[in-house]
Amino acid sequence: MTATATAPRPRPRPRRQVHPRPAARPTASPRARLLVLLVGMSLAFAAVAVRLTDIQVVSAERYAVFGQSQRLVSVVLPAERGSILDRNGAELAISARAQTVWANPKLVRDPAGAARQLAPLLGIGEGDLRDRLSSDAGFVYLARKVDDRIAAEVKAMNLPGVAFLEEPRRHEPAGSLAAPVLGRVGLDDEGLSGLELLYEKELTGQLGELLVERDPTGADIAAGVRQLRPSQRGRQVTLTIDREMQYETERALGAQMAATNAKGGIAVVMDPRSGEILAMANLVAGTRTGSAPVPSADNMAVTRVYEPGSVNKVITMAAALEEGVITPTGRLNVPDTYKVADATFKDDETHEPGWWSVAEIMSHSSNVGTIMIGQQLGKARLDRYLREFGLGTPTALDFPGESGGILLDPDKWSGTSMGTMPIGQGLAVTALQMLGPYNTIANGGMSVSPTLVRSVSDASGKSQAPPEPERRRVVSPATAETVSRLLAGAVSEGTGTAARIDGYTVAGKTGTASKAREDGPGYAPGAYVASFVGFVPAEAPRLSAIVVLDEPTPYYGGLVAAPLFAELARYGVRHFGVPPKPPVGGPLAPALAPVTLGPAPTSKP
């Protein structure tokens, strides 16, 4: 069969000009090529294997650590500071969580606007805030440990780059109560003063740590590493302070300061048997005229020294009785004035020379009579007893900034020192030091070191009592009893009658001393320190107290300090349940019965 139609033949392409190809190079054989490829691949695999071995075997640990460091995040868990409690477990200082406002300036879009919004709320200058929010840092504090209300308001603003952090914050639930004693803590909860500083080691907790594995987005990896070392709260310090007694002491002291226009005031209440301090008040006048007294910056009862004046006469009397220089029944011819070296001393009230008993010298707070007794005692013995009673050295409290007072060595005494020292001039004491001799007398001649802390306990309740207070005999019980009677006489019919309280026998002594100048030697004209020290009940002392007023008006201790002592003692005996003296041999109430002066019952008449 023949084809009937034929397809049109394609046109022939125009022939291109063919250039002559260069001569082909001789090519390797396929076998050689394969061999080269094989060698190349082998080398590549070998390199990978070497690297793999290095990563997985040789340097495995290093890479594992490196990887972990990228994933593991350590979160420091803050530790709460231990609480400070009063003797009955009432909280005086506790730590609670507070919000800290911080910012990452890199994430803050409008620093000026944010600063404008935050400034009135945080109480920080707008310019200061703007500078912080515009800095190059990745973290800046805006306000630390703010109130919950402020934190809530800042949160509500929802400002970009502003975040919050929880930190423990110290609170004093009772306000400024015992503030100078408790002390202060810094912004990082570290003790700066007072008991907060003294017991810093015990109160500070141990920081905790949370080690957690997180993915690149910051989320916790569920099955990743999660190690928690919880923080440990600081130990709890229980004081000997009684919150109610402390409050009443501060209130009464403040009221008396306001009434007498005093510049400052100190009051300490103790249990003389145990040396426990029940209240320790330190106030200074407010900065504005007529404003209420405020707590002092430091614990003046142990940091400030002053010339004790007549309250120091108890040491002279006790030493003289103990050494047999005088007897309770002995009498001295006491003139109105008395010259020692180039100084003339006189009694506060002019009187005719006369034979005064020791009790009369004490109850009338005779400077001349006491100086005469001191001279009979002699320099060495007087100095020894001053030191034995605790003057010249800090107390066992070891309180931060505590002063040991000023007591010159006998070889540095001047000619008039034998006139000044017996009556409490020419030496300086702290209020707590001056309370010590009265506690010794109240304790039957046994000195008991003061203490502020009852126990230190950890979170499990395991408590550790501080070392027992040091007990040391200073004078015999007989001497102590005699001096106690002399002090009771000074209150019942001497200069301290304003310290009497119904139902109890009060023993104590007034003091009115010139105030030393702060800008040089000598005394400030018209400036006095008024004080009263004593204990109650005189027969079986349960409470002792010292009251010191700085530059009151009037300035006599018997007029301004003794009534305050009575107020504190009255509250104290009721608060601590001290029973009044039972009536003996008749219907007279104890305070109405005159205190018999003169010889002690154990002494011969």
Partner 1 sequence: MTAPWARPRPTPLEVPGPSGPLSGRPQRHLRVVRPVHPGVKARRRARLLTTVLATLACVGLFAIVGLRVVLAQGQAEADRLAVQVEQVQAEQQRLRLLVAERESPRVIVAAALDRLGMAPVGPTAHLQAVPAAGR
Contact positions vs partner 1 (CB under 8 A): 90-91, 94, 96-97, 148, 166, 171, 173-175, 177, 220, 222-223, 243-244, 247-248, 251, 501-503, 570, 574, 580, 583, 587-589, 591
Q: By C-beta, is 250 or 551 nearer to partner 1?
A: 250
Question: Using the 8-state DSSP alphabet, how is residue 415 labeled?
Answer: T
Nearest to 205 by CA among 157, 257, 168, 253: 168
CB of 146 to partner 1, least distance (A): 14
Q: By C-beta, is 54 or 166 nearer to partner 1?
A: 166
CB of 202 to partner 1, least distance (A): 20
Secondary structure percentages of the chain, helix, strand, coil, to 5: 35, 25, 40
Q: By C-beta, is 177 or 362 nearer to partner 1?
A: 177
Q: In the Cβ-directed half-sphere of 187, how many Cα atoms lie within 13 Å?
A: 7
- Listed in sequence order, the residues at least 6 apart from 152 whose beta carbon sits closer than 8 Å to its beta carbon are none
CB of 329 to partner 1, least distance (A): 32
CB of 459 to partner 1, least distance (A): 14
Query: What tokens does 338 get?
Result: 């008395």
- Listed in sequence order, the residues at least 6 apart from 176 whose beta carbon sits closer than 8 Å to its beta carbon are 294, 295
- Listed in sequence order, the residues at least 6 apart from 490 whose beta carbon sits closer than 8 Å to its beta carbon are 362, 363, 365, 496, 507, 508, 509, 510
Q: By C-beta, is 315 or 578 nearer to partner 1?
A: 578
CB of 494 to partner 1, least distance (A): 22
Q: By C-beta, is 50 or 152 nearer to partner 1?
A: 152
Q: By C-beta, is 177 or 334 nearer to partner 1?
A: 177
Q: By C-beta, is 216 or 601 nearer to partner 1?
A: 216
CB of 266 to partner 1, least distance (A): 20
Q: Which residue has the tokens 């008024």?
A: 530
Q: How far is CA 226 from CA 75, 92, 232, 352, 560, in A?
A: 11, 37, 19, 90, 66
Q: In the Cβ-directed half-sphere of 138, how many Cα atoms lie within 13 Å?
A: 0
Q: By C-beta, is 125 or 230 nearer to partner 1?
A: 230
SS3 97: strand
Q: By C-beta, is 244 or 458 nearer to partner 1?
A: 244
What is the signed CA dihedral for 555, 559, 565, 568, rounded to 10 degrees? -100
For residues 467 and 462, give the distance between their C-alpha atoms in angstroms, rounded to a whole number.
Answer: 16
CB of 62 to partner 1, least distance (A): 28
Host H or E run for residue 71: helix 60-71
CB of 540 to partner 1, least distance (A): 18
| Exposure string over 79-90, b if 16+ CB within 10 A, otherwise e | bbbbbbbbbeeb
CB of 285 to partner 1, least distance (A): 20
